[in-house]
Chains A and B, each alone.
Chain A
Amino acid sequence: MCLGIPGEIIEILTDRPDLARVDVCGVKRAINIGLLEDEELSAGDWVLIHVGFAMSKIDEREAKAALEFLEGIGQAYAEELAALSESNIT
């Protein structure tokens, strides 16, 4: 729950502009981007995700570093990814 995980935006949903489809380590899920409405997000942008919400926009370098770090964490990250893959908010 506490882990912020980086995801790459694949697309903003046309019928729900507060949602975006993201790719987190191959897991593709919809998340809410309503807390970043001032950021004008688009495909290819990276965001840090907490419990299904994008909390901050980050650059690709930070995203890659954070992913590498999370992969090193092991179990807690694996559990977070498993939980994310079960998520379906659309």
Chain B
Amino acid sequence: MSVRFVDEFRDADKALALSAQIAALCEPGRHYKFMEVCGGHTHTIYKHGLEDYLPDTVQLVHGPGCPVCVIPMGRVDDAIAIAEEPGVIMTSFGDMMRVPGGRGSFFDSNAAGADIRMVYSPLDALKVAQANPDKKVVFMAIGFETTAPSTAMTVLRAEALGLTNFSIFCNHVTIIPAIKAILDSPDLRLDGFIGPGHVSTVIGCRPYEFIAAEHGKPLVCAGFEPLDILQSVYMLLLQLKEGRCEVENQYSRVVPWEGNLKALKVINQTMTLRPYFEWRGLGFISHSALAVNETYAAFDAERIFNVPGVRVADPKACQCGEVLKGVLKPWECKVFGTACTPETPIGTCMVSSEGACAAYYNFGRFTRERVKEATRSVSQPVDIELMPARP
């Protein structure tokens, strides 16, 4: 294990101490594989080179918790079809603008004449609707349970204001069915999960209990700083060492065990579970996404507009599915860093800064990995000047 290549971060000395404690918990000869479900964690892991703080026998694999990454191409095409209807203003988070569909991205469609605007909040989309009463304003709603309550609150606000020209194109997904799909996948043997921090502020820790009870895997809800993640790995290993299998909350300073009841209430009030939904790379997953419910049908873009609902297969070269399931590391994808880069992404994992591929690409870890490989084959460690992380 080497820490020569790691960027400095706050409390790096504490991290080294934790690193030693983690190593001491590992049983000789045993390999451990933990999945960090959330893209924010992936970002921290690559940004700070946290794998260098772990023994070679502890591997972190990346999960499906990047909402931009799991949007299937067909839904992007559907959204663009809505945006291209006369009199429509489509609004979207900035993260979504470069995500490629089968016929290009929001940016491409915008350049071709569709009115697509970036907003920070769904409430900004509502303001666009108020300011443009002669237009039909649609909000491209994406995200896990972290952003779904915001969309729900916005629908309630639109109703209170009596707006008739605002709707949402709902693509909200739920994290638990995705974790279930991964647990049922034969490709992957996991020893535990690093649970998503911000999703858990909404859903709490209880929904994860089946993972420990029925699948025998521990889960620790984790914060986003380097020490949070190392501490969560420590907590997982300690559970395994002591023969426990539980849901624990490392991030209790932010995550209440019961979640945010008001947030859950407004989701239930305005949305309903879809029978199934397509996830990029993972395929169709039952009850894994939300749609606007019957009561709020007037705000549902899927009921207002003709949505083609076309299914578009992912590009053949793209292996986002394997990356999202943790089966492949980003650099093991055939097109990583060559045909697929953040400037010209083929797959969604390269688009979002939370995507495993973009995180890995941006922080120059692919260079580091090659350096590691190179230094492994020589007897004397060689100091090599590394490509600096991009600003």
Chain A residues in contact with chain B, CB under 8 A? Answer: 1-4, 31-32, 34-38, 48, 50-53, 55-56, 58-59, 62, 65-66, 68-69, 72-76, 79, 83-84, 86-89
Closest residue to A62 on the B side, CB-wise? Answer: B253
Q: A1-B67, A56-B201 are in contact. List 13 more A-B contacts (CB 8 A).
A: A1-B95, A2-B95, A34-B262, A38-B261, A50-B198, A51-B120, A55-B260, A56-B256, A65-B225, A83-B93, A86-B120, A87-B121, A88-B124
* CA distance in complex: A83, B94 (Å): 8
* CA distance in complex: A37, B9 (Å): 36
8 Å CB contact of A75 from B93, B120, B256, B353: B353
Closest residue to A29 on the B side, CB-wise? Answer: B120
Q: How many residues of B contact A (CB 8 A)?
A: 47
Kindly state whether residue B224 has any CB partner on chain A within 8 Å: yes
CB atoms of A87 and B201 under 8 A apart: no
Complex contacts, B142 vs chain A, CB 8 Å: 1
Which of A31, A53, A68 is most buried by chain B, counting CB atoms within 10 A of its CB?
Answer: A53
CB atoms of A50 and B122 under 8 A apart: no
CB atoms of A52 and B123 under 8 A apart: yes
8 Å CB contact of A51 from B47, B66, B121, B266: B121
8 Å CB contact of B254 from A3, A36, A58, A76: A58
Kindly state whether residue B86 has any CB partner on chain A within 8 Å: no
Given A2-B39, A62-B253, A75-B391, decide whether A50 and B224 contact each other with a Cβ distance below 8 A: no
Kindly state whether residue B10 has any CB partner on chain A within 8 Å: yes
CB atoms of B153 and A51 under 8 A apart: no
* CA distance in complex: A72, B39 (Å): 17
CB atoms of B122 and A52 under 8 A apart: yes
CB atoms of B67 and A50 under 8 A apart: no
CB atoms of A35 and B263 under 8 A apart: yes
8 Å CB contact of A50 from B94, B123, B126, B150: B150
Of the A-B pairs whose beta carbons lie under 8 Å apart in the complex, a sample of 25, sorted by A's number, is A1-B143, A2-B39, A2-B143, A2-B198, A4-B254, A35-B149, A48-B198, A50-B150, A50-B198, A51-B150, A52-B122, A55-B146, A55-B201, A56-B256, A58-B253, A58-B254, A62-B253, A73-B43, A73-B47, A74-B391, A76-B353, A83-B119, A83-B120, A86-B120, A88-B124
* CA distance in complex: A3, B44 (Å): 12
CB atoms of B198 and A32 under 8 A apart: no
CB distance from A20 to the nearest CB of B (A): 13
Mark interface residues in B37-77 (1 if CB within 8 Å of A CB, else 0).
00110010001000000000000000000111000000000
* CA distance in complex: A51, B202 (Å): 14
Mark interface residues in B212-229 (1 if CB within 8 Å of A CB, else 0).
000000000000110000
CB atoms of B254 and A32 under 8 A apart: no
CB atoms of A53 and B121 under 8 A apart: yes
8 Å CB contact of B147 from A32, A50, A59, A65: A50
Kindly state whether residue B189 has any CB partner on chain A within 8 Å: no
CB distance from A17 to the nearest CB of B (A): 14
Complex contacts, A1 vs chain B, CB 8 Å: 67-68, 93-95, 142-143, 147
CB distance from B373 to the nearest CB of A (A): 27
Closest residue to A80 on the B side, CB-wise? Answer: B120
